[in-house]
Structure 1
Amino acid sequence: MDMQDAAPVAGIGGCLATLLALAAPYVLISEPGTGLTVYYASGPLGAAGIGFLAALLVVVFLSGKQGRTAPDTVAGIAVVASFGLFVLTLLWALSVDPTNVLSFPASARWMTGHRWILLACSALVPVAGAAYVWAVLR
């Protein structure tokens, strides 16, 4: 498989993994009053900014994969926006109050690592964006 075809697929996969990890607590924690709103409101833009950029990048990578936009344009947008996604996720993960994370019920102890899983998922996206730039410009 050609890198110019594989990199957008990897970027889409990283974005979808980020979106799934972002939505997982809403699906898996059923107890009311768990503090999810406070958890997701942390950081400069909150988790909503992460979800927005991840969804936007799916569209960007798809436009490159399907050839709807010039590959060099898509590659430039993808690498800048994906780096922004990672930085925004990092800022959010570092600004989450640890006492809020520890306040979740015992059945949701996995939430102590949730923000780092989300950060790892978002880290896949700039790697794919950089690979796409490399494939387009070589």
Structure 2
Amino acid sequence: MREQVAAALGIAGCLAVVVVLGLPYALFPAWGAELGQYYAAGPLGVGAALFFVLVDIVVFLAGTRGRADPTTAAGIALTLGVVALLVTLSWALSASLDPLFGFPASWITDHRWIVVALTAVVPVAAGLYTRAVLESGA
């Protein structure tokens, strides 16, 4: 039961990251070029973290639905979650808001930190999932 709850939390965290990253594009499509520059900042850009959280959704589902060994899935989910967090943190620390000067919504200045906070949910949930799997002896 704890495995299911932890995996559901991890999936919800991953989906929240996807939604928050897509929100500026959905609300302000005319700012696509500027948002592209903003998202590309840092060593890998935030697109790499997006990729990792999307893969993590599949890993959580595979582990809880018996499509993969739960212990292996837990280890992969935890690793992907930590890497996604490190990527978003490096992006947030290096992302310049200069391309977004004049953006029509003031919340964009906090957007990167919201992404980091939501991404942090993923490794926490993956850690809980890993603990639950190891304690159940699966």
Query: What TM-score, normalized to structure 2?
Result: 0.91
1:69-115 CA distances to partner (integer Å, 9 max, x unpaired)? 111000110111110010111001101014334x142x221100100
State the number of aligned residues. Answer: 135
Mapped partners of 1:25, 1:82: distance in 2: 23
Identity of aligned residues (%): 42
Provide the alpha-carbon RMSD of the alignment.
Answer: 1.4
1:39-80 CA distances to partner (integer Å, 9 max, x unpaired)? 011011112111111110010011012111111000110111
Q: 2:107 aligns with which of 88, 91, 110?
A: 110
Mapped partners of 1:122, 1:83: distance in 2: 9
Question: Alpha-carbon deviation of 1:37?
Answer: 1.4
Structure 1 residues 99 and 32: CA distance shift in structure 2, 3 A: closer
* 3-state SS in 1 of match to 2:42: coil
Moved more, 47-56 or 126-135: 47-56
Mapped partners of 1:48, 1:58: distance in 2: 16
Mapped partners of 1:49, 1:78: distance in 2: 15
- 2:15 counterpart of 1:42: no
Mapped partners of 1:51, 1:11: distance in 2: 14
Query: What TM-score, normalized to structure 1?
Result: 0.91
* 3-state SS in 2 of match to 1:108: coil
Q: Is the 8 A contact 2:13 2:118 kept in 1?
A: yes
Q: Who is 1:59 aligned against? A: 58
The residue type paired with residue 112 of structure 1 is: T
Mapped partners of 1:98, 1:14: distance in 2: 25
Mapped partners of 1:44, 1:34: distance in 2: 19
Alignment of 1:14-93 (within 5 A): 14-32=13-31, 35-93=34-92
Unpaired stretches in structure 1, ≥5 consecutive residues: none
Structure 1 residues 21 and 43: CA distance shift in structure 2, 3 A: same
- 2:131 counterpart of 1:129: no
Moved more, 74-83 or 30-39: 30-39
* 3-state SS in 2 of match to 1:58: helix
Superposed structure 1 runs of 4+ greater than 6 Å apart: none
